[in-house]
Chains A and B, each alone.
Chain A
Amino acid sequence: MSQGNAEFAEFFAASWDPCLRAVAASTGSLTLAEDQVAEAFARAWASWPKVSRHPAPRAWIVRTALNAGASAWYRRNKETALASDDFAVADSQAAGLDTAVLTALRRLPARQREVIVLRVFLDLGIDATARQLGIAPGTVRAHLSRAMTALRGELAPVTTAGAGR
């Protein structure tokens, strides 16, 4: 195995689960996410000399996977943004993706959800998240703040139940 392939194999083994979880949480479909993430890793292998130099290869995988899903969506002539709840398909329940937290996450606008995925799930910094999404760091903060506020609002009845008056 060449050095490049060995590096890719190591990256693939270490990153498959977290990337798949992040994409599945965002799309609501483990089946769809599995295919999208496999596609993203395949593209990463094909461009490994470049992807390996990317400052956040896992973020590259997740964004490519989400874009691949959106591209497939376009190919089906359904001009629906990634935000569509239609991505939350039937296997979400079977895959354990129907928890209150993840359901609330999928109710967020697409951009806010992308920020959560990159900033919280992949633990990217504000600046790195901004670079990934092509937006200003201040915009990332704004999206993050709105997303967290929305999630707190969605989850408050659950997380504070029985807390007393």
Chain B
Amino acid sequence: MNHDDHPDDTALAQELRDCLSELGVPERPSLAAIISRGRVHRRRWLARFAGLGGAAVAGLALGLGLAGVFGADPARRTGPAQTAAFTLTSYSNGTTALNVGQLFDPAALQRALAQHGIRALVKTGSYCSSHPAAPDPGRLGVLSVPAPGSPRHRATRARSGRGVMESGTFPVRPSQLAPFVDPVTMVINPAAMPSGTELFIGNFNLGHTLFLDLIYTSAHTCRNSRQPPVTR
């Protein structure tokens, strides 16, 4: 606690810590048990990542420093619009790379996307959907996410950004990205967005999840939620 806290706070904080330290806790599980459980997660993420199992949800283990993939692209049209939480980089082919961290200002991101010609609705703790559902953004080529660790991704990185859009991307639908530990980069092509639609980006604290999908601007509903739905 800081010195400028309430005079009683330091003592109270110490009392809380003392109380906590007196808690008897059971012996920790074996490391092997934790790793075994972790392997289940890793397999599950990789299976989702590869699109196996017919699941509609694409879950991605994120955070491999993908910003560098786009950093040296000679086709870059404009300088990146960068904040502490996200970076937008436009390319001459009309696409925009969005690199977003775990914490970002939804309103600022929505404004920045609009400046890049991307119609979007960005919210935290709220899930928005269309009725009926809008087309698949991955199939339309509106949204794609480089697959961290994939051979194509590594090849893409080795080429310093050349051909990123063609060879290093995975379509996702709906795009539920978790766990959201480090920044993730995705590529958005606003020209492929059907008329009357916009990109919904939902940030959910529960499980550090980012959710992306297309919605109809005039026919969608939003509801507060700590997590996105498992499937659309």
Interface of A with B (CB < 8 Å)?
A: 5, 9, 12-13, 16-17, 20-22, 24-25, 30, 34, 38-39, 41-47, 50-51, 53-54, 60, 64, 67-68, 70-71, 74, 81, 95-97, 99, 101-102, 105, 116, 119-121, 126, 131, 134, 144-145, 148-149, 151-152, 155, 159
Determine if B227 is an interface residue (Cβ-Cβ < 8 Å). yes
Closest to B11 in A: A159
Residue pair A47, B34 in contact (C-beta under 8 Å): no
Complex CA–CA separation, A145 to B21 (angstroms) = 23
Closest to A119 in B: B1
Residue pair B124, A134 in contact (C-beta under 8 Å): yes
Interface of B with A (CB < 8 Å)?
A: 1-2, 5-6, 8-9, 12-13, 15-17, 19-26, 28-29, 31, 33-35, 37-42, 45, 61-63, 102-103, 124, 179, 181-182, 205-208, 226-227
26 A-B pairs, CB-CB below 8 angstroms?
A: A12-B31, A12-B34, A13-B28, A20-B25, A21-B20, A22-B20, A38-B33, A41-B34, A42-B37, A43-B38, A44-B38, A45-B37, A45-B38, A46-B61, A47-B181, A50-B63, A81-B226, A121-B20, A134-B102, A148-B8, A148-B9, A148-B13, A152-B12, A155-B12, A155-B15, A159-B15
Pick from A30, A53, A74: contact of B26, CB under 8 Å: A30
With most chain B CB atoms within 10 A of its CB, the pick from A45, A53, A54, A119 is A45
Closest to B41 in A: A46
Complex CA–CA separation, A64 to B226 (angstroms) = 14
